[in-house]
Each structure stands twice: as structure tokens, then as C-alpha cells.
Structure 1
Amino acid sequence: MLELLKKNIHMNRWKGNATSQVTLDDDFIVPDTMDDVDQIILSAGEITIESVKNQTERVTVRGKLDFTILYRGAEGGLQTLSGSISFEEPINVPGLEEQDVVSLTWDLEDLNAGIINSRKISVKAIVTLQVKVETAYDVDAAVEVDTGSGYSDCPQVEVLRRNVDVAATALRHKDTFRIKENITLSGNKPNIDHILWSEMRLRGVSTRPMDGKMMLDGELMVFLIYQGEGEGAPIQWLEESIPFSGELDMADVTDDMVPSVNVHLIHKDMEAKPDADGEMREMDLDAVLELDMKLYREENMELLSDLYSTNRELTLQTGEACFDKILTKNMSKCKIVEKVALDNSDRILQICHSDGTVKIDDTEVKEDGLHVEGVLEVRLLFLTSDDSQPIQSAVEDVPFHYLIEAPGINSDTINQLNFGLEQLSAVMMGGGTVEIKATISLDLLALQPICEQIITSATDAPMDLNNLQKLPGIVGYIVQPGDSLWKIAKKFHTTIDTIMTANGLTEKAVKPGDRLILVKELS
């Protein structure tokens, strides 16, 4: 009884993707408790995805834009207006099935806050939603043959094997990591009356798998504008870099796995509180990071390529199986140095804050790797000599291009690119220019689909003795182009070992023109 022993490989196959843009536009009335709006200084927004509903050939995304606007009131003071705009967007994804795995990424392309009148503000934004679809894909590939050797008439089977490198999906998991910190004001800073503006951003985040855990480290950049305590107290700002590191327990993770991890800041909260003396000089920070993790395990599989028997007739059924192979895992650093000229730069006294957002416009596969085109959107906050407008902001777009080396990449390659801002600085130079220096991290995991012929089943039957008798017992043979010892042995009903012994060969390699003596195997 002939039986094939098979190994199951679990993978997620990329099935397709779809992109949709949502335009948000709404007007907001300034509450009666707040001053009239004279000038908008800063505006910022965060997208929160509330649900992603997978339906047949459609994904419905529900979420909201939370925005914050810092404006100068008619009385000259600074005030903060917050609000949100909800959205629900159906995205058509041809071929999508309910059991498929859907990944959603989003980008706030543009946020524009404008003054309609002193009591009404318009908020407009464009949100890009990108859906990627994977489907579970299991391959059963024959790796060994059981001939039932305990029986007298069991097949005498010759086996040809080949090695295939496969990237199996070892784990898909989402988890969160919380950062709780306390910041104390330095002695030269006045007490906090109330917070006007706060920001938290991630910098230089890296992850790495270890046995039983996922390691995480990076920096949380904190920026704060607050009203000082006391009548006539000036507006103050504070900028801190808070390093963090930690681990997530994941029992099934091993340090040899290859990760693709996307990290988002999904919750951030900053609250002023009194210190031990009862003075408002401390702040509690609470931030939550979400890690969307996919880990692959590289496996070297020895597949059965071919079978034949010297005492039985074998009938093989074959099929094609497609696997993913890790082509490259490349962590690159794109360095940017750019000088930009600011309007009314003669009035700028000091840059007090800068932050940046990385936006990828296009990726293109070429012979030498993956070409990435994008923009670093830099926002600058600065003090001016204009008493009526002492705090101003500007946004500058700095384009960049980078080649991520990926030998062997082609149009079929599945590219998983995670990117982020690692470093950023902005320094005033002479002539009214600002020098911007930045480092962008580009983490590429490239998977190459490969398709292989596999043996799906095999049956055996008694040998046709008439056909066997027709084969000569011994024959001289001249090796032809494309021949191998396996092909020759199978055709002439013998074995590779028999050929090597009869011809005194020490290696299995033969070349066209070689002369061999072939002896029929009688099992």
C-alpha cells in the first residue's frame, strides 16, 4: 500500500486592495463661553476608526475626525476649540468574501480650518482609506512516501526530492502597549493655569521578536502650550522627549520569526495636576499604542518531485501550489537636509516647535529595488516680533525620493512597507531660511510568490511483465542534452545507485556525450 505523507503550510495570500477618499466638510459654531475668533494659529486632527465591517465584495468603514483648533480671540488671548466629524464609507472590493482578512490603513491628507465669521469656523478634510485583503491559504505538499515496507509485495520506490524555502504565516495578532508618565515643570516655568494645546507623536519606534515576547522601544514626543498662572502671565510652551521600552507577552513568538509590525498611537491624554505643594506644576501623560503584528517563519521544505518503482507501476497525480518566499527584509534610513524660506521671516524671533508627517505618494518596482516617492510635511511654530500676533505657524512640504535595495524584486513581489519619522530638527539660518534635517525610517518586507509542481497523490499497480521483458537487460547509452541520472534511471527501469556502481561514478552529475552502461533492475 503506497501512501504519501504530507505537510500543511498555512499562509495568507494577498487577494486585492481598494482605495477610497472621503471628503469631510462641516461648520462649527463657537460656544457662547468662548471669545470671537480673530485668527487661527494651529489646527490638528486625528482619525479614529470605530468599526470595519466585512461584507461580500464590500467593506464598510465607520469612524470620525477629531480636530482641535488653537485661535487668537478678539480680546487677544488664545483659546482652543475642539470637535469631531463622523463618517461612514462603503468601499467596493471585488472578490471579497466574509471570511477574508481585511487590513485598513488611513491617512489624513488635508485638514483646513477657516473662519466664516467671528462665531463660525469651517473644517474641511480629505481622508484616504486603503483596504488590503488577504485570504487564508493552506497547502498540503507531499514530503515523504510510505511504501508499507512490512509487506512482501511492497513497492520498491525511488524518490527524487527538492528543497523549497517557504515563508509561512506563523502569527497574526493585535495588541496594545500603554505609556504612563509624569512631567514636572522646570523651576523657571510658571504654574499652569490651563492647557491650550497638546501634542504627542511617536519617533524612532522599533520592534523585534524574542522567544515568548515582542520587544518594543522608541520615543514619545510631547509638546505643550499653556496659559501661565496669574494675571498677565505669558503664554508658555514645553517640549519633552520621553523614551520608552517594554515587552508584550506572546507565547508563540520565537526570535527567528520575521516581523512586519505597524504601530499606531490610538489614545493620548494629558492632564495638569498639583504637585506635593498644591501648585499646578505637574502633568500626567497617558498614551496607548496599538501594534498590528504579522510574523512569518522561514521554513525549508523538502518536497517530493518525482517517484517511480522498479517492481510496481506507479501513477502520479500532480498539481501546482504557490508559496511565498521572503525576498528581502530591509530597514532603510532616508536622510533629508533641506533649506526653506519662510514668509515674513524678518519678524521671526525663535522657532519653538517643529513636527512632521511622512506621506508616501508612490512606490515603483524597478530592477534595482523599490523606488519610494513621498513628502515630509513639516509644521513649524515660532515666536514673532509682532505683538498682535506673537505666535505663528507655517507648513512646509519637503519632497524626498529613496531607493530601497531589493535584489530580485519584480511586478509580482508583495511589498509590505512600514514607515515613520525617526528624527526631525528645524533651525533658523541667515537670510530668513530654516534648515530642516530629518531621518525617515522605511521598513520593507518583500515576499516573492513562487509556484511549484507538487505530487498530490500516487497509486500503484502490478508491473506489466510484458513491457518489462521488452526492455534489454543491458544497454549502452550516450547522455543527451537535458538528461540527468534520475531521468535515465527512470526511463531504463534501473536506479541511480546501480548506474553509478556499474560505471564507477563518484558524482551524480553527467554531461551530454558521456557514455554509460545501463543494467535493468530486477526487483
Structure 2
Amino acid sequence: MIQNKGEMTVEEVRLNEGHAFLKGKLQADLLYVGEEDGRIYSLSANLPMEETLNLDGIVNGDKMCLKWEIEDLSIHIIHSRKMNIKAVVTFFASVDELTGVRLPVSLDDETVSVQKKTMRVLSLVIHKKDTMRLKEEITLVSNKPNIAELLWYTTEVRGLDLRPEENSVKAKGELFIFALYTGDDESGTLQWIEHSIPFNGEVECSGCISEMIPNLEAAVINQTLEVKPDADGEERKLQADVVLELDMKLYQEEDHEVIMDVYTPFRQCMPKGRKEILESLLVRNFSRCRIADRIEVKETQGKILQICHSQGKIKIDKIQIVKDGILAEGIVRLKVLYIVENDEMPFYSMEAMLPFSHVVEAKGITENSVYYLHTELEQLSTTMVDSNDIEIRATIGLNVLVIQCSEEMILEKIEEIPLDQEKIRNMPGITVYIMKPGDTLWNIAKKFYTTVDEIIQMNNLDGDEVSSGTPLLLVKKVEE
């Protein structure tokens, strides 16, 4: 066995009270050397999958976000005609619940004074899923023979950049394609090509504007590579068809002048409200982590003649909030296909793991913050140092969106009760008050049954900003 790969497809999702029923298949592919003739072959097997996820509170009709990851795929030979295939697939399911919060920003009664606070509130404006299809063609160079049989291929999307625009989300990146095939020449030689194709695309997103705060994620849900004839009818073209699923969340941040307290010197107002969790943007940050390592090839495999292809996948093992940042620890799983000086077994594949640890800066983050961390393998290069060692360099992109959550008392209604006439009669009609640190004209006016405008007019002030130690003449407005 040279190399294997797996692809999970979920064909059906049914939600019921507290459960999600999944149905699909796992396609396992194997590249191997035949026992008798020593030729290289490939085969595919489809394993049916049915799984039930226990999700407390979920009901039919909820909008569930489902992701999955093949944690481990192992293929073992039982004998030359039979194999054992095992896989561990981890499913991640979540349901977002949206709650509308009414913010009091105005009061009809002009006799009632209001105290306002400027709040910057982040709200989810758009949440939708859509697919983007990438179709690209590769034509073989003139010194390559025609394709007799396509044995193996991989497709990867790297450097993906998703941006909101007017009524659309635009994407650009590179599609990396590797294909191993037998040529139609007399000896049926093994050939391979490695090609990168830049692409641009977009999906419709009604209501989207470029100023929105994006939380965009993409995943490959289907990929195929087919052999196509050229204009002369010769099998010299490869057509890649890749389907990306985009999970698009777009936020908008607005400032609101929210009423926090009310009073009037003529009535006793009792504000009533409830505590709400409001969200605001703390930080958006894009960071890169560069890692490098040198791997020694086992002596039993022979000396390396040439590296054919390498691919990698990021696995995050730990995410932790640290001081002014988010610590991400994980590994890059690597597969390297190469040729050795062994005519009976010319191709070998090795797997390796590159650990990494990186802190994405996020000043002000706390345990109460909500964050979304997306990782991407932006660059991967494998180079022969000598016939026994391979140098690997990788660049990981870490994109984080941090939302600050704060608890605020939001007014719902105002109850009026009679004034305490005994208290009012015991207060002087005119008094002088010395401003103290932390005092505001609002609090003073409320305490002494007057208004902010009355204090400003009586003391010839330019505004409501008064320094500590300033004497103020106060006149009680309420009549006993």
C-alpha cells in the first residue's frame, strides 16, 4: 500500500426532538502495488454511514450547522484480495438561536428627563449557506503522453480569501491539483502532474455590503477529477470540479443612544427593566504561523530520487484564552509521495506531523468573550535536502473574530408613584452644592428635585461638564 485517502459525504439529515439522524457514506481510496506484476493500481470502496447525534433542545425546523472531520483512516491487508477499513469521523453540530432586543432610545413625555448611554451594539444581519462551484481544466504539456488511466488525484484549495461586497460574497484563491496516471505509450509509463490554478468566484448574498463584519467559512464538500478529450479527440485534458460550501455570517455594528434612567421633579419615576447580554466587536485579527522541520526517510525505503507531491491538513488540539490573546496548539498532518531507487517498488509515501503553537493577538479578551477561530494551510513546500532527508516548510493562517459580551440593564417600562411630600418639605428650597469627584449634573438634579437645564441656566454654565470643587446654586422646582 502506497497511500490512502478518505472523503465523507452526508446525504441526509433529519432532526427530531433532541436528536439528529445522519445518513451518508465514506469513500475510501487506496493506491497500491500489485503483488504479481508489480504495477501500481488504485481502488475505491464506499462504506455506508448512519449515525444519531444527541442534541438537547433541538427540534425539527431548527437550522443546524453540521461539520465533520476524518480523525483517522486505517486500511490493513488481511490477505492479497481482502482488506480491513476503519475510520473515526468526528461530527460537530451547532444551532444558533437569534434573540431580538428592543432598546429604548426616546421618550414621548418632554417633562421627563432622560439619562442616556452610548452603546455600540453588534448584530447578526445575514446568516446563510450557499455553494460555489469551481470548474477548471488542465491540458497536458506536449512532452507528456496521453492519459491511459487516471490512478490517483488530490485537489486542495489554498490561500482562500472571502470578502463581502455589494449583494455578494467574493472568493479568490488557488486550486492545487495533483494527478498520477499511466501513459498510453508502449511501456505504459507512470506519469504525474502538479498544477496550481488561480480562481475567482462569487455567490449571491442579498443585503450584503462591503462594510459589514464578516465571519465566513468554507469547506470542500465534493471534488472530482475527470479525463476529457482535447480538440483532436486525444485524452490530454483533466477537468477538476470542486464544490465549496460557504457558511456566511455577516454582522453590523451600530451606535445607539440608549435610555438608562429617567426622572422628573414632579413625579416619582420607578424604571423597570431586565438584564440583557449585548455584543460588540472587540477585535478582528489575521495572523500567520510559519513552521519548518526536517524529516529523515527510513533506510528500508531506499534513497529518494524525486518528490512527487505533498499535502497537509491542520488539526487543532487546544484553544485557550491567554492574556491579550488566543493560544492555538495543534499539528499539521503531512503526506509526501516520492520516488526511490527501487524498480520493484518505486513509489513510497510517508506521513509526518508538524506540531505548532501560536498566539493570535486579541487585546482585551476575557473568558466571557465569544471568539471564532478559522485556520487555513496557506503554503506548503517540501524540498529534498539530500537522498535521505526532506525539509518541510508551512505557513498557517489564523483568522480570529472576537466579540465582547456585556450585561446591561435594559428599561422596559416606567412606573409612577406619588412623591414623598414629607421628604420634600424637609429639603431647603435653595442650597449651594460643591461638586465632588464622580458627580454629574444629572445625579445632582435628580437628588435635589430640579433639572439639568435649570442648573445650567441658574449658574451660567456652558454645558453639563463641571469640574470638581465648583459651587452650584440649586433651586428646588417641585412645589410642596
Deviation at 1:505, TM superposition (A): 3.2
> Per-residue CA shift, 1:144-182, capped at 9, x if unaligned?
1112xxxxxxx5111111011111001011111111122
What code does the residue aligned with 1:327 have? L
3-state secondary structure, aligned to 1:500: helix
Please name the residue that 1:58 is paired with.
19
Tell me the SS of whatever aligns to 1:135.
coil
Indicate if the aligned counterparts of 1:311 and 1:462 stay in contact, CA closer than 8 A: no
Alpha-carbon distance in structure 2 between the residues aligned to 1:488 and 1:94: 51
**Aligned residue identity for 1:519:** V
What are the residue-to-residue correspondences of 1:186-197 with 2, within 5 Å? 186-197=141-152
| Contact persistence 2:304–2:387 (CA under 8 A) | no
Match of 2:201 in 1: 246
1:46 aligns with 7
Q: Which residue of 1 aligns with 2:233?
A: 278
**1:501 positional shift:** 2.8
SS of 1:137's equivalent in the other structure is coil
**Partner residue, 1:309:** 264
Maintained 8 Å contact 1:327/1:409: yes
* Preserved CA contact (<8 Å) 1:425 1:437: yes
Deviation of the 1:99 alpha carbon: 5.6
Which residue is equivalent to 1:88? Answer: 50
Q: Is the 8 A contact 1:45 1:65 kept in 2?
A: yes
**Residue 297 of structure 1 aligns with which residue?**
252
2:79 matched residue in structure 1: 117
For residues 92 and 512 of structure 1, what CA distance do their matches in structure 2 show?
A: 60
Structure 1 residue 515: Cα displacement: 2.9
Aligned to 1:311, what secondary structure does the other structure show?
coil
SS of the equivalent of 2:343 reads: coil
The Cα of 1:481 is off from its aligned counterpart by 5.4
Question: Paired residue for 1:405?
Answer: 361
Displacement of 1:482: 4.3
RMSD of aligned residue pairs (Cα, Å): 2.0
Letter in 2 for 1:138: G
User: 2-side partners of 1:318 and 1:477: how far apart?
Assistant: 32
SS of the counterpart of 1:498? helix
Displacement of 1:92 in angstroms is: 2.5
Task: Please point out which of 264, 284, 293 is paired with 2:219.
Answer: 264
1:417 aligns with 2:378: no
Which residue is equivalent to 2:179? 224
The secondary structure found in structure 2 opposite 1:208 is: strand
Aligned-pair distance for 1:471? 3.8
Question: Quick check: 1:339 aligned with 2:294?
Answer: yes
Deviation at 1:292, TM superposition (A): 0.9
Instruction: Kindly indicate whether the alpha-carbon contact (under 8 Å) linking 2:118 and 2:258 is maintained by their aligned counterparts in 1.
Output: yes
1:285 Cα offset (Å):
2.0
The separation in 2 between residues aligned to 1:98 and 1:465, in whole angstroms, is: 59
Letter in 2 for 1:219: E
The question of whether the paired residues in 1 share the 8 Å contact of 2:132 and 2:243 is answered with yes
Secondary structure in 2 matching 1:146 = coil
1:476 corresponds to which letter in structure 2? V
Instruction: Give the aligned partner of residue 12 of structure 1.
Output: none
**Counterpart for residue 204 of structure 1:** 159
CA shift for structure 1 position 314: 2.4
Amino acid in structure 1 at the alignment position of 2:231? A
Match runs of 1:118-197 below 5 Å: 118-147=80-109, 156-197=111-152
Moved more, 43-52 or 189-198: 43-52
Q: Which runs of 5+ in 1 are unaligned?
A: 1-39, 148-154
What are the within-5 Å matches in structure 2 for residues 68-87 of structure 1?
A: 68-74=29-35, 75-87=37-49
Structure 2 match to 1:323: 278
**Structure 1 position 256, deviation (Å):** 0.9
Does the aligned pair in 1 maintain the 2:18–2:57 contact within 8 Å? yes
Q: In the TM superposition, what whole-angstrom CA distance separates every residue of 1:457-503 from its partner, at most 9, and x where no partner exists?
A: 12446767676555432112234554322111011111122222323
Residue type matched to 2:25 in 1? K
Aligned counterparts of 1:99 and 1:327: Cα–Cα separation in 2: 32
Shift of 1:310: 3.1
Q: Is the contact between residue 156 and residue 312 of structure 1 (CA under 8 Å) also seen in structure 2? A: no
Contact kept, 8 Å, 1:99 with 1:135, in 2: the verdict is no
Q: Count residues with an aligned counterpart.
A: 477
Give the Cα separation in 1 of the matches to 2:24 and 2:425.
Answer: 77
Instruction: Give CA-to-partner distance per residue, 1:106-162, whole Å, 9 cap, x none.
Output: 111111111110010111111111223321211112111112xxxxxxx51111110
Matched residue of 1:186: which SS? Answer: coil
Q: How do residues 355-504 of structure 1 correspond to structure 2 at under 5 angstroms?
A: 355-430=311-386, 432-460=388-416, 468-480=424-436, 482-504=438-460
Question: Displacement of 1:514 after TM fit?
Answer: 4.1
> Matches of 1:247 and 1:88 in 2, distance apart?
34
Distance 2:323 2:378 in 1: 28
Distance 2:20 2:367 in 1: 26
Change (3 A) 1:340 1:252: same
Question: Separation in 2 of the partners of 1:55 and 1:296?
Answer: 30
Aligned residue for 1:255, secondary structure, equals coil
Alpha-carbon distance between aligned partners in 1 of 2:146 and 2:211, rounded to the nearest angstrom: 51
1:251 offset after TM fit, Å?
2.2
Deviation track 1:55-74 (CA, whole Å, cap 9, x = no partner) reads: 33333333321111111112
Report the equivalent of 1:37.
Answer: none
What is residue 3 of structure 1 aligned with on the other side?
A: none
Paired with 1:466 and 1:68, the residues of 2 have a C-alpha distance of: 88
Distance of 2:477 and 2:166 partners within structure 1: 51
Distance 1:138 1:97, change over 3 A: farther
Amino acid at match of 2:326: L
Task: Pick the structure with more strand per residue.
Answer: 1
1:439-460 deviations in Å (ceiling 9; x for gaps): 1111111112111111111244
The DSSP-based 3-state class of the residue aligned with 1:110 is strand
User: How much does 1:282 deviate?
Assistant: 1.2
State which of 472, 475, 478 in structure 2 corresponds to 1:516: 472
- Structure 2, gaps ≥5 residues long: none
1:97, 1:311 → 2: CA distance? 52
